[in-house]
Amino acid sequence: MQAPANPSPLPSLDALLRSPEAAVLLERFGRHATNAALRATLAARRAARAFPASATTLLDEAADTLARQFTASQRPVFNLTGTVLHTNLGRAPLPPEAAAAAAEALRSATTLEFDLATGRRGERDDHVAPLLCRITGAEAATVVNNNAAAVLLVLNTFALGRQVPVSRGELIEIGGAFRIPDIMARAGAVLREVGTTNRTHARDYQAAIGPETALLMRVHPSNYAIAGFTAVVATAELAGIAHAAGLPLVEDLGSGSLVDLAAWGLPHEPTPHESLAAGADLVTFSGDKLLGGPQAGLVVGHAELIKRINANPMKRALRLDKARLAALEHVLRLYLDPDRLRDRLPVLRLLTRPDTEIRATADRLLPRLRDAFPDRPVAVEPCRSQIGSGALPVDLLPSAALTIGGNALESLAVTLRALPRPVIGRIATGRLWLDCRCLEPDEEPVFLAQLPAHG
Ligand SMILES: *Cc1c(COP(=O)(O)O)cnc(C)c1O
């Protein structure tokens, strides 16, 4: 039999749309997206001259495209990197009730800026400021989008067009674009570098103070440590120097733990209470680092100064939304009951998890992981977790990991990232490491259920 003179190498869009497979796609993704995906599939085939192709093949391709389009881009993952506060993975996991409070606020009208007692306008910061004052001992508090915003706003409020002396040992860069000299410039302040990288003395600050000085600033070098022949001016002494010159002292604490972590056997990290007690007039810190809450920037200190910050028009541009305020309020309230804080605050629970318990998790998962990757050596090995997000950079926490060896570790990592709830590990010393610190027992079933079945 002879072929028709000009056979159409691809089915028509109409023919594809009439098929039963297309009906499934139409039902699931709607007419608009399904049409567009089928059209794009046909066009791509035509452009690449990749034909003939059956209707089934084309519909499968369109189904893949549609599935990708309709999968959320931001998804929950298993953070088995060994870094608890992982900035790229969203930092602190919230307590479920705090997340629920945020979701509820998003769904409904709330008392965001409404005073129920008087029926009049209220202040959004009033949901969290009194809690922050109570916890840190501050006179007043305000909150913004993140700590970078807090630093920007403080500098812009008090040092616009004026000088701010900062030690050369504190000119930090936090991952991404947060660099003290750049923030200073964008805030309109003039950075005046003092001292040297490893040693800065009281006299260096004193020599830098002049009529153009707006405030003194101390930055917690959170993601590195200077060791050896060093000298820093303690907060109390620096406060004395600032106050003698009639200037406020601002301290950027970075992580700013609200509790003394040493009480849980962790290395000490400076707290806002300590900074304020030592004489700092304003202290800024993050909401989603050691505090364990949502992304936020917190400023605590003198009422007079906080009032001026709130009067800066930039405050409006940097303010928090109702969802994060709801979550932050919930998390801060947990601090009123320190005895149960460890059980209720995931960050603290994860950071203080005993390595014996983490090892038990790894041991429980080991047989199924061996099953899933029968051609690779799988083992449980001791490892060290990091706190992350610039907190306590040199202190590592003893932990336990599942390790998977063999060749082509990058493709193994790809397989794990392609799971329904992607698993993110770390490749080092010829193995893929899955640090089990952040895999809590209640999530083990989810982790196991999605592993590839035997082989
Ligand atoms: C993390 C950090 C910041 C930035 O805080 P974000 O909440 O990420 O904006 C600023 N300063 C210091 C010292 C930090 O550690």
Task: Assess contact for 293 and 94: CB atoms under 8 A.
Answer: yes
**Predicted pLDDT at 8:** 72
**Predicted pLDDT at 174:** 79
By alpha-carbon position, which residue is closest to atom 1 of ligand 1?
254
Please indicate whether residue 425, judged by its CB atom, sits closer than 6 Å to ligand 1.
no
- Residue 154 Cα to ligand 1 middle (Å): 14
Please indicate whether residue 270, judged by its CB atom, sits closer than 6 Å to ligand 1.
no
Please indicate whether residue 136, judged by its CB atom, sits closer than 6 Å to ligand 1.
no
Q: Across all residues in the chain, what is the average pLDDT? A: 94
| Spatial CB neighbours of 35, under 8 Å, sequence gap ≥ 6 | 13, 17
Strands (E), 159-227: 163-167, 173-174, 178-179, 190-194, 216-219
Distance of alpha carbon 435 from alpha carbon 353, whole angstroms = 12
By alpha-carbon position, which residue is closest to atom 2 of ligand 1?
254
Distance of alpha carbon 32 from alpha carbon 120, whole angstroms = 46
Q: What is the CATH number of domain 96-341?
A: 3.40.640.10
Which of 151, 155, 174, 250 for mutating ligand 1's site (highest number of atoms within 8 Å of CB)? Answer: 174
- Residue 153 Cα to ligand 1 middle (Å): 13
Please indicate whether residue 146, judged by its CB atom, sits closer than 6 Å to ligand 1.
yes
Task: Please give the share of the chain, as a percent, with pLDDT higher than 90.
Answer: 88
Residue 257 has pLDDT above 60, yes or no: yes
- Residue 147 Cα to ligand 1 middle (Å): 5
Q: pLDDT for 348-366, tens place per residue?
A: 999 999 999 999 999 999 9
**Predicted pLDDT at 7:** 59
Please indicate whether residue 147, judged by its CB atom, sits closer than 6 Å to ligand 1.
yes
By alpha-carbon position, which residue is closest to atom 15 of ligand 1?
254
Q: pLDDT for 23-39, tens place per residue?
A: 999 999 999 999 999 99
Which of 83, 178, 179, 180 for mutating ligand 1's site (highest number of atoms within 8 Å of CB)? Answer: 178
Q: pLDDT for 277-329, tens place per residue?
A: 999 999 999 999 999 999 999 999 999 999 999 999 999 999 999 999 999 99
CATH second-level architecture of 78-87+350-449?
Alpha-Beta Complex (3.90)
Residue 452 has pLDDT above 60, yes or no: yes
- Residue 366 Cα to ligand 1 middle (Å): 37
| Region for 100 from its dihedrals, namely left if φ exceeds 0, alpha if ψ lies in -120 to 50, beta otherwise | alpha
- Residue 178 Cα to ligand 1 middle (Å): 7
0.75 cut: is pTM over it?
A: yes
Atom of ligand 1 nearest to the CA of 287: 7
Q: Which residue has the tokens 């970075």?
A: 254
Q: pLDDT for 122-177, tens place per residue?
A: 999 999 999 999 999 999 999 999 999 999 999 999 999 999 999 999 998 877 67
**Predicted pLDDT at 5:** 45
Q: pLDDT for 211-256, tens place per residue?
A: 999 999 999 987 778 888 888 999 999 999 999 999 999 999 998 8
Q: pLDDT for 62-117, tens place per residue?
A: 999 999 999 999 999 999 999 999 999 999 999 999 999 999 999 999 999 999 99
